Amino acid sequence: MTHPTKWWTGVPVRSYFPEPSFYDRAKTYMIGVLLATVIILLILIGTARAQIAMPANLWKGLVAESTKGDLTEYRCIASVVRNRLNKGMWHGLVALKRKDLDKFVSREVAHNPRLEVLAKQAIQEEQDYSNGATYYEHTGIYPVPSWTKKIKIVKVLFAGTRDEITFWKGV
């Protein structure tokens, strides 16, 4: 085995560390491959998390959130849900947690058959009607949540009425 030399003098260079064996080099290579694989998997998981699918019964959630049957309202709320899912957040429709959701929605749709059609139409549209909002509240009925003071209002529907809905864009 020849020792490396200083190219300008030809004098052999002596290392304080022994030359790594084949097994040491193989072990280092395998650790590098393992780390690269883990990093790639974490990137892929992060990307997949940001593309969570819409709930199959989302239209029922829209109807349960508002039985008024306003297409603009449904579009805005569906946009908020889409924005939240694209950021990897929970969809945020508390109405989907109702124990009597199916019964409630079927009763409302029987009273006004347009509700289902409008809600499903709003879900199919890709345009963002909420100006990027990730939160909303029916502020005509409920008080403005205190935590929203730190985030920006991006849209208000039906301002000044009992049907007022405020939309915020979170950080």
Q: DSSP secondary structure string, 51-115?
A: TPPPPTTHHHHHHHH--S--HHHHHHHHHHHHHHHHTT-----GGGG-TTHHHHHHHHHHH-THH
Give the pLDDT of residue 28.
87
Structure pTM? Answer: 0.66
- Give the gyration radius of the chain's Cα atoms: 29
Per-block average pLDDT, block size 10, for the chain (171 residues)?
62 68 86 89 66 77 85 91 88 88 92 90 91 92 90 91 90 69
What is the model's pLDDT at position 103? 93
